[in-house]
Amino acid sequence: MMLKDWLPRHVPQICRIDSVDSVGGGCISDAVCVRGISDQDKPETWFVKTNTVDFAENFACELDGLNALRSTGVIHIPEPIATGIDASHSFLVTRWIPSEPPTADFFTGFGRRLAEHHVASETTDDRHGWHRDNFLGATVQPNQPCESWVAFVAQQRIGHQLSLAIENGWSDSRLKSDVQKIIDHMDDLLSGRHSTVSLLHGDLWSGNYLCTDGGRVALIDPAVYRGCAEAEFGMIQLFGSCPPEFYDAYQDVRPLADGWRRRVQVYVLYHLLNHLNLFGGGYLSQCQRTAAMVLRGR
């Protein structure tokens, strides 16, 4: 059955669908731009992701994360509309956010807004994690609240991904040995950071931040949890990083503690191990090189 036939039955805000256009950029779910008439009898545009029925929990976690990020009111986040299950699909609906090529000052604004968000959500509460496990891509991301950031990263981030890699057959003895050394020395590797805790987007690769109207940054597709703000830069740095003006603007608002670039390599490794588990052995050598780099930086 076509999406325009079944979606309005589940989403009261959608009165009529006039067009459905495919949207690129994702590799896990199907994404479309839907135009039609809302329940207020006005033209409206929505963003809709669909997947198999067993993906419903993933979408529920995404909706939860979007609402959490919107709560600070600092960064433009799409308004979640609905999530649910049809006979053969799970789905997530948000309001559409139009995107455009980055403006000259986009990354300056992005860095400033991200820092302001981290400040606005910052607490001295030592509980890291989230009220539910969620997903990093299609991988379960454990978020059991923990009073120790070192233990949280060692067990629920790096340790979890290493266990999956061994279970999936993607780890060799070298990677297993080096990552275990990282886990054993995590206290030293993460020393020097700020002790405050912020709400993190959790998956800030270039496909999850958009330049929208007036050069504003908008964030989509989160994997939220509360933790050390430096962890946010792991995914940013994995695929080419942002230009210097992004980091300069961030530090104008919220200066990073000395040694942050060294510590960020631990979070880069977390995302690399996740890619190893999602996409296979093509990421093994990059995981090995990054793990060795982390150990050299001790």
**Which tokens is 146 given?**
């923990």
Is 203 known to be catalytic? Answer: yes
CB 222 within 8 A of CB 153: no
DSSP state letter for 257: P
Q: Is 51 helix (H, G, I), strand (E, B) or coil?
A: strand
In one-letter notation, the amino acid at residue 173 is S
Question: How many whole angstroms separate alpha carbon 162 and alpha carbon 270?
Answer: 9
Catalytic residue, candidates 203, 213, 221, 252: 203
Question: How many whole angstroms separate alpha carbon 199 and alpha carbon 123?
Answer: 9
In 3D, which of 130, 126, 164 has the Cα closest to residue 145?
130
CB 203 within 8 A of CB 58: no
Q: Is 16 helix (H, G, I), strand (E, B) or coil?
A: strand
Question: How many whole angstroms separate alpha carbon 255 and alpha carbon 194?
Answer: 10
Q: Which residues are catalytic?
A: 203
